[in-house]
Amino acid sequence: MKVSILCVGKIKEKFYTDAIAEYAKRLTRFCDFDITEIPDEKIPDKASDKEKEMIKEREGEKLLSKLKPDSFAISLCI
């Protein structure tokens, strides 16, 4: 089995990267595991709701382009 995590944006906080490394170490005993970070789109300070929605659409398209046709996807956020 292969487990792939796709996320938008760079994981910057050290406690998160440490936790990810620990769980990755544990998971690799049972499955192939990888994390792919998709660069986040910059949101202007005074972006309208329509602009924010368009940004989410673009990020969603980037995520979907990384999925394989036979993948099983679970969304954990917006």
Q: What is the pLDDT of residue 78?
A: 65
Q: What is the pLDDT of residue 18?
A: 95
Domain edges within the chain: 2-66
2-28 residues labelled b (16+ CB within 10 A) or e (exposed):
eeeebebeeeeeeeeeeeeeeeeeeee
CATH topology of domain 2-66: Alpha/beta knot (3.40.1280)
Dump pLDDT digits (tens) for 6-64: 989 888 899 999 999 999 999 999 999 888 999 988 888 888 999 989 999 999 999 99
Q: What type of residue is 35? A: I
